[in-house]
Structure 1
Amino acid sequence: MSNVDQPNESIAPEGARPDSAATGAAPIDPPMRASRPARSAPRPRRGGSLALAVLLALLAVGVSGYVGWRQWQQEQRSAADNQSIASLQPRVATLETTLTTLGDQRSSLNQRLDDAARVNRSLREELLGQAERTRHLEDAVAKLAEKSLSGGDGVLLDEAESLLRMAGERYTLFHDAQGAAAAYALADQTLAAVNDGAFGGLRQSVNAEREALVKSQPASQASALQQLVALRDALATLPLKPLDSTPTEATDTWSRIRRALASVVSVQRDDGAPLAVADARFARELAALDLAQAQAALLAYESKGYAAALQRVDGALASQFDARAPAVQQARETLKRLAGQLPANAPVQLGAALSELRNLRAVHALSPARSSSAAAGGARP
């Protein structure tokens, strides 16, 4: 406010008593007080300015307090941040130290990795060298195997092949299953002495054909042969069929007439047999020849010839020998049992083992040429 609007004397608040000593004036009379309100008419304007000033002062105090409070908070936050930074600095230093250590370790690890890579490279080169040496050793072993195969093994294989071919021809020509089986057994023993393992499967084929030959041979062949030999020996003792006996002397008329005519006409009974069979030696020789033919057919595994020979012997015993004699009856029973033991008609199929052996030898003969061509191809730059 300006000094024009302010009176010289102090204005007391409403309801307050005026201080006469302070004002230094004489007491005012009541009439003068009555005329006072007319002079102080603009007082309400003065109070509004004062309120506005008080309000502004309060506002300034509030703003200054707020600003001070914000500054205080900022100082507190700054102090907390400074404490945090101070507490984080050792950690940062520790992390820097750790990172430095890790960097050193990484450098050492990189160095070790480089060293390991160089070692691996050298080891790889050594392995390649070892593989090359191994290949050369395999080639040398293959050459040695070829030499051994062309030497002792070749002789053994030739022997096995000849045995198998001999067994097949013997069975084809003579039906000798026993001899062919023995030849197959020798061929199997010969193949067992071969050092090459490629011929191991061939032994299974040889054993299969040998077992087939053994099974085709009748189990009772030896006993049948013995029985035939016994029958041939017993033919000399078998009784022949009795011829007509000499008539007894009679004294009647008809007997006299028959004797008188005997010098002119002779009547005899031969039971349908030829006159040559009457000789006992000839009949026994014919039966013995039939038994010998039966033995040959049994050894040759000819079923038809074996059965036909036994039938002829049985017919000879029935027609020329005494059928009522126990020895003749026993001989005929033996012939019936032998007739039931005929050899097998189905022949054994041979030759698979021999073909397999020849194929294997052909493959081994071609393998040196293949290996030499492969070596020549590998040697080219």
Structure 2
Amino acid sequence: MSSTPDPSPAPAPRRSRGWAWLLLILALAAAGAWGWMQWQARSERERAKAEDAGQRLDALEGRIDSIRRDQRAQLQRLQQADATNRVLRDELLGIGQRAALLEDSVSKLADPDRHGAQALRLDETELLLSLAQQRLLIAGDLDGARRAYALAAHVLDGVDDPAYLSLRQTLQQERAGLDALGAEPRVRAMAELDAFAQTITALPAEPATTTPADAPWWRRAFASLIDVRPSDRSVAVQPADRIAAMAGLQLELSLARAAAERRDGDGFRAALQRANGWMTRLWPDSPMLQRQREQLRTIAAQPLSLTLPTLGSTLEQLRQLRSAS
């Protein structure tokens, strides 16, 4: 038995192919949409990651800057601490040195071989001798220096060490030299100058004129009426001139006193030399004026400072003995 094919179902494959193409297009569109969405999401994630990385980078840079500031502050603190440590170390070294000096001084005083009481007496003697020398050189106080030397001799008598026997002899020689000076040169010169200023006004203004017995009769007759004087003499005659000359003399004497007070030998002699010139202006030449001028030159030649060769010899010898022991 044979069968014949049915011609009606033939268009079915074409319809199925159309639906396949449609499904394929829809799948492609869906895949494209999904891919675009994925790309957008990925872009958003990458943008978010980039922003997050930027924020983290800014935060990291801020932390780095903060760390740098802290590091600089720590470095400054370390430098300050180092300087403080150096100062403290220097102070500790100074304290240690002072402590060592104090310990050495205490050990010297406590050492029976060094005689602590003797060391104290020698210190006191050195101090008194230094004070005496300063009183002489600076203040010119001869009496105060003598008292200081006497106290130094009294203290030195308490030292029983035979090594200081020659020091006592030197001190006695220096005290003898001070006692031989008498008054202090400046005080003596000022006293003599004051005495001279008090006696200078006793000079006569004019020399005593006497008429010789063998003079002519006209001279003996008119001697009480006529006084002949040379016109070129330098003695002031007018009252105003004499007052000015006397003021100049007193001024120069005052300047001489001031120069003697400050031990200015050149100023002292210059003032007295000018005073000598005023004397020739005030009084005529006479034996009394010559004596006064000679006295003024003697006062000007006197020294105003002490000249004692043995001054300070005891102090120098004491220091040499103490440094050698």
Query: Relative contact order: is structure 1 or structure 2 higher (C-alpha 8 Å, sep ≥ 6)?
Result: 2
TM-score (norm 2): 0.43
- Higher Cα Rg: structure 1 or 2? 1
